[in-house]
Structure 1
């Protein structure tokens, strides 16, 4: 059995990331934007999870957390989420936001709280995720890092 590693995504990972996001019904329309920094979970050569951040100065949008169906429920989502928060801090991010229709309790356990969309940093509000990709019904959450 191979060891699962969480590493920065390579350009060759884009199609596997797209497939993961589509399988989780997450937005892919803006996938590959220059502002996105993906981490992937690899089991050997297979990409079995992903998560990203979009950095806008000292604020960021955390997004695109997905785990392959066969790997769900074993803590890989938690490991990916924790790894992207560490990466955000490493990059000098002071506040992170996310939009979700499914992981509000999960994010709340990691210190995120509901916020009004109008209170989100303007650069993040201008992102494609906020403007067009995520439904208006998505919960907006924030956390100081």
Structure 2
């Protein structure tokens, strides 16, 4: 397995993986989301996205093919995204999740009230309309090590 930035040719595979994982895709063509992909045998087996807003980042759409879950792909993708965010000078990552709260809690993300997210993130499509109000909002300060 290799981790690397998503190429334009792989966007369709990422979209299909997100749909299969029941994650939002409505804004993929308009939002500035940088995806990292996990590739095995020329096939995208996992993806994670970063949407940056000044010094804050929105972790978007961690998805791993069902037959690769539990093999460390998701953890590797999160670590790669956090490293990229640190390199870009982001101070924190936030995310919204309906199903992965325990996964992210084990990686140092803590619940935070959605209304306390930075205004630019709250104004993103993810916060405004793509994720329901019932989704948990989680935050990790990037000075925190895994």
What interval of TM-score do these two structures reach, taking the shorter chain for normalisation? Answer: over 0.9
For residue 24 of structure 1, the aligned residue among 21, 24, 27 is 21
For residue 76 of structure 1, the aligned residue among 66, 73, 86 is 73
For residue 88 of structure 2, the aligned residue among 83, 91, 106 is 91
Distance in 2 of aligned mates of 1:34 and 1:26 = 15
Aligned residue number for residue 100 of structure 1: 97
Question: How many equivalent pairs are there?
Answer: 142
Aligned residue number for residue 123 of structure 1: 120
Distance in 2 of aligned mates of 1:129 and 1:34 = 10
Q: Deviations over 1:89-131 (max 9, x none)?
A: 1111101100001111111111111111110000010000000
Q: TM-score, normalised by structure 2?
A: 0.94
- Pair 1:137-2:134 in alignment: yes
1:143 Cα deviation (Å)? Answer: 1.1
Distance in 2 of aligned mates of 1:119 and 1:90 = 25
For residue 41 of structure 1, the aligned residue among 38, 44, 56 is 38
* Preserved CA contact (<8 Å) 1:14 1:32: no
Q: Which runs of 5+ in 2 are unaligned?
A: none
1:34 Cα deviation (Å)? Answer: 4.8
